[in-house]
Structure 1
Amino acid sequence: MSPDNPAVPGPDGPENPAWEQMLRAMLGDGADEAIREMRARGFDPSAMAAASGLPTDPRMLEQAVAQIRRMLAASGDEPVNWRMAHDLARQQASLGGDPSLSPARSREVLEALSVAELWLDAVTDLPPSTGTPHAWSRAEWVEATLPTWRTLTEPVAGSLSAALVDALGSSLPEDAADALPGGLDPSLLLRQLGSAVFGMQVGQGAGTLAREAFGTTDIGLPLLDSPAPALVPANVDAFAEGLDAPREEVRLFLALREAAATRLFTHVPWLRAHLLATVEAYARGIRIDVDQLEEAVRSIDPTDAAALQAALSGGVFAPHTTPEQKAALERLETALALVEGWVDEVSAAAAIAHLPHTVALREMVRRRRAAGGPAEQTFANLVGLELRPRRLRDAAALWAQIARDAGPAGRDAVWDHPDLLPTTQDLDDPAGYGRRRAEAVDETAEVDRALAQILGEDPQEPPAG
C-alpha cells in the first residue's frame, strides 16, 4: 500500500476492494470495526464496487478516494456532490492531455467562427449572436457548461437518492448505527454515498463529453446560460483525423453548425427555457418502485458482485413512465429534432457554395449524432433521456420543404412562437405541412368570426378599445 495513504492501492493493484477503500476514506479509524460488523451481518461492502461505477485504474481510484475525503469535510444534503463532479470532470477532461490554447490556435477558431457568421447571413434572417465567441480547452468547456449539467441532473438524482435511502435504509438492522463511528446516522451515510456516486457519474459524464463535444450546442441542448459560439479545437482536430476533408474545411463546417445553433438560441428567447423545462418536467415525474428495489436487495447475495451489478442494471432503477412523462418526452424529442434539423439544413445551405466536402461532412455529423457516445449514455442513465435526435433527417426535410414553400424568411418565422412549431405529424408528412398550417389558420379565423358575431362586433372591423 501507499505509505502515505493506507486506502490507496499499491503499484501492483489494489490491496483492498475498491468499496472498502471508499468506506475507509469516509469512516477513518472506525472503518475496520464497521467493516467487521457489516460482514458479520452477511454484507460485504466490496460487492458494491461493481455497481457503483468506481474506477478500477489505481490512479483514478486514488483520486476518487481523495475526493470522498473532501466531500465529508464539507458534507451537505445535495443529491449530487458538485465539488466531486467538478473535480472529476476536470480530471476526465485532461486525460490524454489538455494544454492551454496558443494564441495561434485561438485565432484559427475565432476566424472560422467569424467566417461562418458571414456565410450564414446569406441563408438566414436570424442575426449573429451577441455573445463573445470563444476558443476553449476541454477544461474551459467543463467550467463553462457545468452549471447547466446541474439543472439537468439534480431533479432525477434527488428522486433516486430518496429511493435508495428508503430501500436500503429500511433494510438495515436497528443497531446499524452502533457499527458506525460516533453513532453516525446510517441514513446520512447512505445519502452521502448516493451524493458521491451521482457526483462521480455526472463528473465522469461531463468530463468524457468534454473530450467529444465540438462546442456548446452539438448535443441538442444549449449548455450556456447566455448563448455564445465556441469551439474546442482539440476535439475538432480529433474528428478531422482520418477524414478526406482538410482540417480547415472541417473546422469551418463545425463552426457553421455552432454559429447557426447559437443564432437560434439567441434570437428565439423562449427556446432554451422550453427545452430545459421539458427535461425537468420529465425528470421530476420519475418515480422509483421502492418495493421492486427492496425486493432486489433482499433476493440477491450481497457478496456476489456480478449478481448485484446485474440486479442494479436490470431495470430496478427504470422509471415507470406516466402519461404526462410520455407527453413531455414526445415534446422534447420533437423539439430536439426540430432544432437540430434546422441547424443541419441552414448550415449545409451556407456551406455548399464554399466547402467542397459539405455533403460528406453533413452525413458524418448526422451519423455521429445518431450513434451517440459514452458520455451521452451516462446522461441517459442519469436523467432517463437520450438526447440523440431520432428524427433529425425528417426534421431537416421538413425545414427544406418549408423553405421551398415560403422561402428562408418563412422558414425562420416558424420560430416566432412555440405554438407555431411543427408537430410529429409534420415530421411524418413534411409535404403536407403547408396545407395543414393553412387549414389551422382558416379554422382560427372562423373561430374569430364566430366570437365577433356573439359579441355583436363587425368581424371586418378591429374590436373597439
Structure 2
Amino acid sequence: MVDWETAVSIGSRIAGDGPAVGAAEARDVVAELREGADRSTALVREFTGLHAAERTAPVLVVDRPGWVRANAEAFSTIIEPLAAKLSEKKGPPTGLSKTVGSKITGAEVGFLLGFLGGKVLGQFDPFAEPAGRLLLVAPNIVHVERELEADPHDFRLWVCLHEETHRVQFTAVPWMRDHLFAEIGRLIDAVKPDAIPDDLGRRISEMVRGEGSLLDLMSTPEQKEVVDRLTGVMSLLEGHADVVMDGVGPTVIPSVKQIRKRFNERRKGVGVLDKMLRRLLGLDQKMAQYRDGAGFVRAVVDKAGMDGFNAVWERPEHLPTKTEIHDPAVWVTRVLG
C-alpha cells in the first residue's frame, strides 16, 4: 500500500541537508550530543527518581535523511496493518493500480516526513526493537540554536535532557512500551473501512481552510475514545519531559530561562504555510500536549511531591485521562486518595 523507498526519497529531498556545517564542527556537534545524552541519564534519575539502566536503548545522532528513514520504518509498523484493513473496502490493489497507488501514497507520506524532518530536534522511537532508540537530529539542533542565538553548549544539553527523559520513561517503566503498542492496536482495530468517506480529498481541502486535523477527520466514536486516552498519555510524557528539562536546567545550563522563552515563541510556528501545515497535521495539538502536560505534572508535584507523582508510573490504570490532564485534582483524588 505504501512504497516506503519513495517516501524516504521524497522525504529526504524535502527535508534537505540543513545548515552549512564544516566537517570538524560536525564531528564536535555529534560528540557533544552523545556526551550530553550520557550525562543526562544521571541528571534525569536524580530529579525524577526514575531508574533506567544506562544504554538500554541506543542513542543515534542522525542527519535529516536518517531521521526520515527511521520514521518511515516506524510508520510502516503502524500503517501496514491499517492499510490491510482499509483494503477491505475496495479489495486489495493489483497490477498498475497497486504500483501507482503505492508510489502516490509513498509520496504523500514522504511529504509529511520531509516537513517534520526539517523541524524535529529529537525523539524516542519506541517501535525499534528490542527496546527502542533515541534519535537526536544534529542539523536541526544546530539550525535552531543559531536561529535562537542560544549558547550552543547550553542548548544541546537542554535538548538532550528532554529526549533522555523520554528514554527513561520507556525504559524505567517496563510496561509503557507495550501499553502504547496496545492502544495503537485498538485504534487500528476500531477502523471501519465503510466509514472512510469517498470524498475524503474534498473534505481534507475544506479542513485546510478551517479547523481540525487529519486525526479529527478520520476518528470514529470508538477511535475517539482511544485517541483521548493516547492524548492523556502523550501529554503526560511530553509535559513530564518539559518539567524535567526546566527543573534540571538551572543547575547545569546557565542560560536556560532565555532558551525557554525564545523556544516557546518558536513553537508557535512562523509563516502562513507553516501554521496551515501544523494545523493540518495536528501539530497544534502536539504543542498543547507540552503545555497541558507540564501543567498537570507541576500541579501534582506541588500537591503530592515527586514521590506522589511517580505513582503515575506504577500501572496503566494510574495514567491520567485527557480530562484529568486539565484537572489534576481529579487524578490526585482517584489515584492518591
Query: Residue in 2 aligned with 1:452?
Result: none
In terms of mean alpha carbon deviation, does 385-394 or 198-207 score higher? 385-394
Matching of residue 322 in structure 1 with residue 211 in structure 2: no
Cα deviation for residue 364 of structure 1 reads 4.8
Corresponding letter in the other structure for 1:192: T
CA distance in 2, matches of 1:376, 1:288: 28
User: Measured at CA, do residues 416 and 436 of structure 1 come closer, stay the same or move farther in structure 2, by a change above 3 Å?
Assistant: closer
Corresponding letter in the other structure for 2:138: P
Question: Greater RCO between the two (CA within 8 Å, min separation 6)?
Answer: 2
1:357 pairs, out of 255, 269, 272, with 255
User: Measured at CA, do residues 378 and 398 of structure 1 come closer, stay the same or move farther in structure 2, by a change above 3 Å?
Assistant: closer
Query: Residue in 2 aligned with 1:207?
Result: 114
Query: Residue in 1 aligned with 2:174?
Result: 269
Matching of residue 198 in structure 1 with residue 114 in structure 2: no
Q: How many residues align?
A: 323
Identity %: 27
Determine if contact 1:340/1:389 at 8 Å carries over to the other structure: no
Cα deviation for residue 343 of structure 1 reads 0.8
CA distance in 2, matches of 1:242, 1:397: 27
Per-residue CA shift, 1:18-65, capped at 9, x if unaligned?
Answer: xxxxxxxxxxxxxxxxxxxxxxxxxxxxxxxxxxxxxxxxxxxxxxxx
Determine if contact 2:196/2:218 at 8 Å carries over to the other structure: no
Corresponding letter in the other structure for 2:9: D
Matching of residue 313 in structure 1 with residue 205 in structure 2: yes
Matching of residue 88 in structure 1 with residue 14 in structure 2: no
Cα deviation for residue 374 of structure 1 reads 6.2
Cα deviation for residue 351 of structure 1 reads 0.7
CA distance in 2, matches of 1:154, 1:361: 40
CA distance in 2, matches of 1:385, 1:248: 28
Query: Residue in 2 aligned with 1:119?
Result: 43
Determine if contact 1:240/1:246 at 8 Å carries over to the other structure: yes
Corresponding letter in the other structure for 2:74: T
Determine if contact 1:216/1:229 at 8 Å carries over to the other structure: yes
Cα deviation for residue 354 of structure 1 reads 2.6
CA distance in 1, matches of 2:188, 2:276: 16
Corresponding letter in the other structure for 1:86: V
Query: Residue in 2 aligned with 1:104?
Result: 28
CA distance in 1, matches of 2:107, 2:3: 8
Cα deviation for residue 349 of structure 1 reads 0.8
Per-residue CA shift, 1:349-392, capped at 9, x if unaligned?
Answer: 111223233234335555655659969959966xx998615343
Determine if contact 1:84/1:196 at 8 Å carries over to the other structure: yes
Matching of residue 135 in structure 1 with residue 61 in structure 2: yes
Determine if contact 2:77/2:127 at 8 Å carries over to the other structure: no
User: Measured at CA, do residues 284 and 188 of structure 1 come closer, stay the same or move farther in structure 2, by a change above 3 Å?
Assistant: farther
SS at match of 1:396: helix
Query: Residue in 2 aligned with 1:344?
Result: 242
User: Measured at CA, do residues 366 and 242 of structure 1 come closer, stay the same or move farther in structure 2, by a change above 3 Å?
Assistant: closer
CA distance in 2, matches of 1:269, 1:379: 33
Q: Structure 1 regions of 5+ residues with no counterpart?
A: 1-78, 170-185, 298-308, 440-465
Matching of residue 243 in structure 1 with residue 148 in structure 2: yes
User: Measured at CA, do residues 391 and 102 of structure 1 come closer, stay the same or move farther in structure 2, by a change above 3 Å?
Assistant: closer
CA distance in 2, matches of 1:92, 1:291: 29
User: Measured at CA, do residues 102 and 390 of structure 1 come closer, stay the same or move farther in structure 2, by a change above 3 Å?
Assistant: closer
SS at match of 1:388: helix
Determine if contact 2:19/2:143 at 8 Å carries over to the other structure: no
Corresponding letter in the other structure for 1:313: S
SS at match of 2:170: helix
Determine if contact 1:286/1:319 at 8 Å carries over to the other structure: no
User: Measured at CA, do residues 290 and 275 of structure 1 come closer, stay the same or move farther in structure 2, by a change above 3 Å?
Assistant: closer
Cα deviation for residue 258 of structure 1 reads 0.8
Q: Structure 2 regions of 5+ residues with no counterpart?
A: 208-213
CA distance in 2, matches of 1:385, 1:406: 31
Q: TM-score, normalised by structure 1?
A: 0.59
User: Measured at CA, do residues 106 and 187 of structure 1 come closer, stay the same or move farther in structure 2, by a change above 3 Å?
Assistant: closer
CA distance in 1, matches of 2:175, 2:267: 24
Query: Residue in 2 aligned with 1:23?
Result: none
Matching of residue 428 in structure 1 with residue 326 in structure 2: yes
SS at match of 2:120: coil
CA distance in 1, matches of 2:32, 2:175: 32
SS at match of 2:157: helix
Determine if contact 1:376/1:387 at 8 Å carries over to the other structure: no
Corresponding letter in the other structure for 2:2: V
Query: Residue in 1 aligned with 2:210?
Result: none
CA distance in 2, matches of 1:289, 1:350: 50
Determine if contact 1:141/1:232 at 8 Å carries over to the other structure: yes
* Aligned residue runs from structure 1 range 393-412, under 5 A: 393-412=291-310
Per-residue CA shift, 1:55-85, capped at 9, x if unaligned?
Answer: xxxxxxxxxxxxxxxxxxxxxxxx1112322
Bigger Rg, structure 1 or 2: 1
Cα deviation for residue 97 of structure 1 reads 7.2
Corresponding letter in the other structure for 1:122: E
Query: Residue in 2 aligned with 1:257?
Result: 162
CA distance in 1, matches of 2:87, 2:51: 44
User: Measured at CA, do residues 134 and 376 of structure 1 come closer, stay the same or move farther in structure 2, by a change above 3 Å?
Assistant: farther
Query: Residue in 2 aligned with 1:149?
Result: 75
SS at match of 1:422: coil
Q: TM-score, normalised by structure 2?
A: 0.79
Cα deviation for residue 328 of structure 1 reads 0.6
Cα deviation for residue 271 of structure 1 reads 1.8
Query: Residue in 2 aligned with 1:279?
Result: 184
Determine if contact 1:138/1:210 at 8 Å carries over to the other structure: yes
